[in-house]
Structure 1
Amino acid sequence: MLSLIKIVSEQKLVGKDQSALDQLKSQKNPCFISEGVKVYKNSLYIKNNILYFIAKLNEKKCLYLVSNKPFKSEFFGNIEKINSFYTQQVEMNYKNSLILKKIFPFTAPISLREKRTSFGCGDRLGLATPGHIRAAIQYDVYPVLAQQSIRELNLTNRNYKQVTSDVAFSVFQEGYERGYGADGDHLKTIKDIDIALEAGMPMITLDLTNVLHPEVMNWNEEKVNEEFDKIEINEKKRILNTYADKEFNIKKVKLIINNLEAKQCALLYQEALNFAQEVDEHLKKHRGDKYDLEISIDETTTPTLPIHHLFIINELNYRKITINSLAPKFIGDFQKAIDYIGDIEEFEKSFKIHCEIADNYGKYKISIHSGSDKFSVYPLIGKYTDLHFHLKTAGTSWLEALKCIAQYNPKLYRKIHAKAFEYYQEALKFYHITADISKIKSIEKVNDNELIKYFNKDESRQLLHITYGGLLSDPEIRKPFFDTLNEFEEEHYQIVSNHISKHMELLGMKKIK
């Protein structure tokens, strides 16, 4: 602690006002470092004569409060006098994150419904957020810095309170005041939604997979008519009067829904739409108007037809559901960790229509799931959405952490790569990929200076992408993995920032000078 106070004293930090502290902040030289202590300059804030900052002491990162006068603190933790300074060391946990958000509101997530461009930055480790922020500050974009699904939480043994707490302290560490979102991703039940809401997450991605009825599309016409006749009579009339044999003109595109298609849509989506209405009312009750509801229909086996997209959004509007974004399943294959698979011209034609429907029926954002590393279609996404979109990434930041390991601890990377094969079959239960991992040559034949190139092969990326749960729970991997990222913290941040910046640039986001 004396080394920490020495930095505070030598830099005369307690005597400076906020303007003077802001002049010390830097992206190129983000820390004061002395005698094994690291003080994060961008976290320097002064309030009521108390200096707040984050520092790493004895390899442990904490929030610190320092003053030259006695003070009272809402944070949990003892206040002690060291030399002429009163000092409090604050653990970076959920309880203290709530106090941090009260004192510094910019550390709390907000609704991004009114923001034109948003970008999901899932962080499975709780360590990548500073890298995400360093990418986001370069562009006209609002990052969703806390974004995890229940599946990811279970595989990483984390919870939403840990996720939001980790992000809040990272936001403070970086001094990021522009605003960010937090997304309870791919939630399917009110129970899980409530867990995310309790942790303070304003965005809910509602995955409707369990209440869709895709089997309808395999029924013959007689079966469709039979099931449709079971719907309440006034609802049947409304659906037929609204959609059956109707023509919808959307800019230069003409969409026609015939009688059979209208009935199919009703049977396929009605239960899901009613559930979406229930969730929307639940969110209003708990958060007023400060929430972002995303409707996800992307976890299906077939692409979302334009007439289905039109039906869904029309019905959402009919039910007066406050929709922030909608995630259709697009043509082609959006697999984890690799570029788009499919005919790009076909994707362009289809994606353009989806964007025109969104523009015509409510100005909501088109959302792209499994959006990381789809570099070949990013220019089209930026172009046809006119940057009014939400795009989700997650696993790619985990891979960038592994890239850092490969670069700075190749021996450990070799062990991780070998272990990934052990966890691959189990991981396939949770993720769909088509990688032929038999194509991955033995890592024993690869020199250390070739590891990054080896790592970047599609098959390696997909193998490593989906096996994170097993790897992070492996006692031979976990501690040295986190120790390496801790040792090469700034290098890790830079690797993540560079990779996410590449996404943002190719999407056509406006650069901030």
Structure 2
Amino acid sequence: MKLEKYSFGMGDRFAHQGEAQLKAVLKAKERGVTITPVWNKSYREHKTVNTSPPELRAEADAAVKALAWTDPYRVDADHITMDTVGAFIESSDFFTMDVANYIGKSAPENVIEDFVERRRKYIGDLFIPGISEQFSVTEDNLRYTAGKFLLAAIEAGKLYAHIAKAKGEDNFIAEVSMDEVDDPQTPVELFFILSALADYHVKAQTIAPKFSGRFNKGVDYVGDLQQFEKEFEEDILVIRHAIKEFGLPENLKLSVHSGSDKFSIYQPINQLITKHDAGIHLKTAGTTWLEEVIGLSEAGNEALELVKDIYSSALGRFDELCGPYAAVIDVQRDRLPSAEEVSSWSPDKMANTIRHDQQHPDFNPDFRQLLHVAYKVAGEHGDRYYAALAKYSDIVSVHVTGNLYERHIAPLFLGRG
């Protein structure tokens, strides 16, 4: 199974927006760009809203059938580990293997020494075609890199082998996730990480490295854009070189996680993948849930009251909801309106406060980020929330499709802002 050049991860917390999401991808195809839709959902998200992996597969299959989609599509077991992969084996064909917890933990000394010996020929000047900087590799560099990343590669190998044994090696797509760490990997580190993945027979088709800056949930990229561009281009070139050096899958490409709403990086990414004729996988998640909330807000009536109730509860459970996402949100409590204030808001005021329009005077990124992690509260409303989605599906679906196409797909894949 081979992942296509362009792919787009679409999270759907409550499994109601599959068709609306696929319509955004269909719009791109009508304009000449074919993108593989990948429905993604993590173990944590399933557990939070009490769903199961087969439900995500059913949603994807139903959307594809309803819209007569004939191109490939995938279902991603997002951020799985050896402890959580079992529930996803049957229904998924894309596995995002999260080995970030093993980064910085040292492999056995003899394993590190074996790695150093295998890579000894790279000691000295390392030249990556396309990168003007010439890198210097010492034995100490090799040993340090192995000490930091080798155990993660070993764990990826175990997880990959486990999935391959259950599904057959040609029946799934593997992604390696190393983005949820403190520091970005250097070009040299990424080169040797890829060599280690090859050593442990991980046929990864995408890899999600860490980039500089903040990739906070639901809001734009915060950081040095020039530095991001430099890292992104260097990673493309390192991957291209590593494919040849280590026999990795020829379609191996970069994956950008927490890619929802990172509007400022889409144009640079588009320019670089065009320049290098490279593929890309961008993973979105909570942006669809937030569009549901915007649609329900605009619907008014009992749907607006439901949104207000969700916010009020989230405000009172701030630490509980924000704690698990502390590394990927930045919510300033003093910039959040009180529940009493929000109780009097109109449909437009609520929608404009949530909608990611940075030029609108009502937009509040802190409010938006808190709601991003408050999907747990919506799930607790159960039938009340699902009934609102069903009743106002026409309003909600327009927002979901428009958001994914206009704000994400068009600038990223078509180069249109």
**TM-based fold match above 0.5:** yes
- The 5-angstrom pairing of residues 5-20 of structure 1 reads none
Matching residue within 324, 330, 335 for 1:434: 330
Distance 1:431 1:273 in 2: 25
The partner residue of 2:154 within 274, 277, 282 is: 274
Residue 369 (structure 1) aligned with residue 257 (structure 2): yes
Corresponding letter in the other structure for 2:90 = E
Distance 1:133 1:299, change over 3 A: same
Report the alpha carbon displacement of residue 228 of structure 1 after superposing the two structures with TM. Answer: 8.1
Q: 1:360 to 1:233 in 2, by over 3 A?
A: closer
Per the alignment, residue 505 of structure 1 pairs with 410
User: Deviations for 1:83-136, whole angstroms, at most 9, x for unmatched residues?
Assistant: xxxxxxxxxxxxxxxxxxxxxxxxxxxx4x341100000111110111111000
Deviates more, 1:162-171 or 1:115-124: 162-171
Displacement of 1:247 in angstroms is: 1.5
AA paired with 1:265?
A: T
Instruction: State how far apart, in whole Å, the 2-side matches of 1:121 and 1:438 are.
Output: 32
Indicate yes or no: 2:13 matched with 1:124: yes
* 1:221-232 correspondence to structure 2 within 5 Å: 230-231=110-111
Q: Answer yes or no: is 1:161 the counterpart of 2:32.
A: no
Separation (CA, whole Å) in 2 of partners of 1:288 and 1:229: 30
Q: For residue 334 of structure 1, give the secondary structure of its aligned residue in structure 2.
A: coil
Counterpart AA for 2:23: R
Residue 317 in 1 paired to residue 198 in 2? Answer: yes
Distance 2:187 2:223 in 1: 18
The answer on whether the counterparts of 1:119 and 1:141 sit within 8 Å (CA) in structure 2 is no
The SS at the match of 1:481 is helix
Kept in 1: contact 2:79–2:96 (CA 8 A): yes
Structure number with the higher helix fraction is 2
In structure 1, which of residues 408, 414, 424 is the aligned counterpart of residue 308 of structure 2? 414
Letter in 2 for 1:364: L
* Higher share of residues assigned strand: 1
Which residue identity does 1:455 align to in structure 2?
A: I
Deviation string, structure 1 residues 219-264 (Cα, Å, up to 9, x no partner): xxxxxxxx9855475444224x144334133213333333322111
Amino acid corresponding to residue 133 of structure 1 in structure 2: L
Q: Structure 1 length normalisation: TM-score?
A: 0.70
Partner of 1:14: none
Aligned to 1:455: 354
Quote the residue 2:392 is aligned against.
488
Is the alpha carbon distance of 1:471 and 1:311 closer, same or farther for their aligned partners in structure 2, counting shifts above 3 Å? same
Alignment identity in percent? 24
- Shift, 1:196, TM fit: 1.0
For residue 194 of structure 1, the aligned residue among 64, 74, 86 is 86
- Looking at structure 2, the residues matched to 430 and 137 of structure 1 have their Cα atoms a distance apart, in angstroms, of 35
How do residues 72-87 of structure 1 correspond to structure 2 at under 5 angstroms? none
**Structure-2 separation of matches of 1:510 and 1:374:** 14
1:211–1:228 CA distance, 2 compared to 1 (3 A)? closer
- Can you list the C-alpha shifts for 1:33-59, whole angstroms capped at 9, x where unaligned? xxxxxxxxxxxxxxxxxxxxxxxxxxx
Measure, in 1, the Cα distance between the counterparts of 2:71 and 2:84.
29
Q: Secondary structure at the match of 1:324?
A: strand
Matched AA of 1:417? Y
Alignment partner of 1:245 is 2:124: yes
Unaligned runs of 5+ in 2: 244-250, 356-363
What TM-score, normalized by structure 2, do the two folds share?
A: 0.86
The amino acid of 1:131's aligned partner reads A
The answer to which of 493-502 and 305-314 deviates more is: 305-314
Deviations 1:442-461 (A, max 9, x none): 31464333222222321111
Residue in 2 that maps onto 1:346: 227
In the TM superposition, residue 164 of structure 1 has moved relative to its aligned partner by 1.1
Cα offset, 1:293, TM superposition = 0.4
For residues 411-437 of structure 1, what are the alpha-carbon distances to aligned partners after superposition, in whole Å with 9 as ceiling and x for unaligned?
222222212212321122321211103
Distance in 1 (CA, whole Å) between partners of 2:254 and 2:112 is: 32
Q: Cα distance, 1:490 vs. partner?
A: 2.2
Question: What is the CA distance between 1:180 and its match in structure 2?
Answer: 0.7
CA 1:114–1:166: 2 relative to 1, 3 Å? closer
Aligned counterparts of 1:505 and 1:437: Cα–Cα separation in 2: 34
Does structure 1 residue 443 correspond to structure 2 residue 342? yes
Task: Tell me the amino acid that sits aligned with residue 424 of structure 1.
Answer: F
The AA in structure 1 aligned to 2:350 is L
What do the CA deviations read for 1:149-187 (whole angstroms, capped 9, x no partner)? 111111011111122122222322222222211100001
- The residue aligned with 2:104 is 213
Residues 423, 471 of structure 1: 8 Å contact kept: no
Larger Cα Rg: Structure 1 or Structure 2? Answer: 1
Q: Distance in 1 between matches of 2:172 and 2:111?
A: 32
Please give the secondary structure, in 1, of the residue aligned with 2:386: helix
Checking the alignment, whether the CA contact within 8 Å between 1:142 and 1:181 is kept in structure 2 is no
Tell me the CA shift for residue 284 of structure 1.
Answer: 3.0
Cα distance change on mapping 1:119 and 1:185 into 2, 3 Å: same
Distance 2:255 2:56 in 1: 22
Distance in 2, Cα, partners of 1:303 & 1:234:
25
Q: What's the RMSD between the two structures over aligned residues?
A: 2.2
Q: What runs of 5+ residues in structure 1 fail to find an aligned partner?
A: 1-110, 217-226
Are the counterparts in 1 of residues 128 and 241 from structure 2 also a CA contact under 8 Å?
no
Partner SS state of residue 401, structure 1? helix
1:295-306 aligned at under 5 Å gives the runs 295-306=176-187
Question: Residue 19 of structure 1 aligns with which residue?
Answer: none
| C-alpha contact 1:340 1:374 (8 A) present in aligned 2 | yes
Letter in 1 for 2:215: F
